[in-house]
Each structure stands twice: as C-alpha cells, then as structure tokens.
Amino acid sequence: MKPPSNNAFSFSAASIPALIFTAGVLLFPGQLSLADQSAEENLAPIAKLCLAGEDCVGAKVSQAAEAVVAPEPVAEPAPAPVAAPVQIAQADDGFDLQGTYQIFCFACHSTGLSGAPLPGDAEAWGPRMEKGREEIIEIMNRGLNAMPPKGLCMTCTDDQLWELSQYMVTLEQ
C-alpha cells in the first residue's frame, strides 16, 4: 500500500465527531437550533420554582397560588380479612431443556471444543456417567477444564443440570 502524499486528505479518530456534526448541519439544516440561539438564550432557565408566600426572584407568588389548600386526608379502608392459604399443585417449572441446551451447552458440546464430549457419544460419556449423579452435578456446578461453572447457566438447579447431562448423553447429532 502506498503512503499518502503530503496533500492527501487524512483524518484521525478524533475528527469523527466533527465530521458527524458537519454532515448533520449539511444534511439537516435548521435542525440544530441551538446554533441559531445566543449563549444567553441557551443558558436561560426553563422554569422558576417558588414557594407560596416567598419572594421569587423579585416577584411575589400570586394570590391564587397562596389560596391552594391541601386536600383533607382520606380515611384508609379497613384491611380485608386474610384468607386461608390455598395449596396449589406444583406446576411444571417451565424449564426448557432443549432451549437451555441450545443457549448454554450447544456451542462447545456440538463441536467438541476443548474436549467437551459430543452429544450421544457413548464412548466419551460412559466414563463420565459412571461417576454417578452427585459427582456429575458437583463437576457441572464448579466447571471442568474450559467449561465454566454451571456452563454459565446460573439459574439452573441441580436437577436441571442433571437433566441437561442426560439429554446430552442421549441426544443424537
């Protein structure tokens, strides 16, 4: 690549805001109204806050403002009687096994990245699963090699992590 000549146009990253401003002025004339105002107009306050009965920058608050009366407090309604707690059957916890696998596990386990066992690879998963449920969950919670703790699924419970491991063991590619 040929170096620019002395008269060639060049700019640095610091000149980008100026270029954007210039483009805005050229493309949208009249939209930058602050440039058309004086500094005094730009710095003028937009409103005044005065308390009733006090002077406000040389002016007295109007009589109408002083005549405002606070509303009378409204009596609170009596509390409703507390109903006995209702036992509700445990619904499905809404855990999306396939979606969670796609979000947290797929990237490494579908490619074997950093030695992650591929889904459905019985030879790779066999020795791991022989360790038992509790140890598998413990390993998943703390992470292993390049796998971060919980595979970054920080909201996954131990039961959900176990479901994910079983899903990967049986999943066919």
The tens digit of pLDDT for each residue in 34-55 reads 555 666 666 666 666 667 777 6
Residue boundaries of the structural domains of the chain: 97-170
Q: How many CB atoms lie within 10 A of CB 45?
A: 7
CATH superfamily for domain 97-170: Cytochrome c-like domain (1.10.760.10)
Enumerate residues 6+ apart whose C-beta is below 8 A from 10.
4
The tens digit of pLDDT for each residue in 51-102 reads 777 766 555 545 554 455 556 677 777 776 766 665 544 445 789 999 999 9
Report CA 38 to chain centroid distance, whole Å.
Answer: 40
Q: Helix H segments across 104-150?
A: 106-109, 122-129, 133-142
Task: Identify the pLDDT of residue 75.
Answer: 74
The residue behind tokens 């796998």 is 147
Is the full-model pTM beyond 0.75? Answer: no
The residue behind tokens 């855990």 is 95
- CA distances in angstroms from 165 to 44, 97, 130, 132, 145, listed in the order given: 65, 10, 13, 11, 16
Percent of the chain with pLDDT over 90: 43
